[in-house]
Amino acid sequence: MKKPRKRRYFGEATGKALAAFLNDRTRKRQTETTWSNADQVVNRPGADSDQVLLRLIELGQRCHASPNPHVRESLKRDANILLLDLKFNPVIVSIHGAWTVHWEAWKYDSPAAAVKLWLELVGIGLVSRLRRCARKKCRRWYYARFDHTSFHSIKCRDAAAKEDPTRRERRRNYERDYYHQFRKAEPKKRKGKL
């Protein structure tokens, strides 16, 4: 019997590649630092391009969440300032005789390549799906297939539920009520002699 193929969602491959880049622990990064505006990143001597990428992600998510068009324009302006220092080169690709242009980063595993993935997500309107795991001990980047997803895996979701004191109290009360309602009412039947 053939195993059914896993369902793929629009933007998932790009989002997963970007999340994998952000979660790569072998590269030296400071992932928690963000600045309040784009000028601090651009005017900072030797600004780290990883920090530029994190700032772009933050700007994209804030822009997606803001209904105010003036705020969105300001965020877009800040993102364009950040994109000025990145190095891309155009590559002409021929598909059935027609030329198309692809923009590629100078190095495949550079933050510029990750910014290109981010730009693809922005272009299809799915930048808000790139998130950090809601569990405090995890905080891994992931691509959310659905808007309501908060954790990168089922294990993290279950671990976060077990760590939550209010959830533990609710569960304890539910189990106690369940026991008194169903289990205690029925005496146990014993095997063997009566």
Helix (H) or strand (E) holding 164: none
Q: Give CA–CA dist 112/66, Å, rounded.
A: 26
DSSP 3-state of 75 = helix
Q: Give CA–CA dist 70/23, Å, rounded.
A: 33
How much is the pLDDT for 27? 62
Q: Closest Cα to residue 32, out of 16, 54, 49? A: 54
How much is the pLDDT for 111? 76
pLDDT digit string, tens, across residues 140-180: 999 998 889 999 999 999 999 888 899 889 999 999 998 88
The answer to whether residues 63 and 77 touch, using CB atoms and an 8 Å cutoff, is: no
How much is the pLDDT for 186? 61
Domain ranges of the chain: 12-149, 153-186
How much is the pLDDT for 36? 38
**Per-residue confidence of the chain (194 residues) as pLDDT tens digits?**
677 777 788 888 888 888 888 888 676 544 333 333 333 444 443 446 678 888 888 888 888 788 888 888 888 888 888 887 777 777 788 777 778 777 777 666 667 788 888 888 888 888 888 999 999 899 999 999 888 999 999 999 999 988 889 988 999 999 999 888 877 656 666 676 65
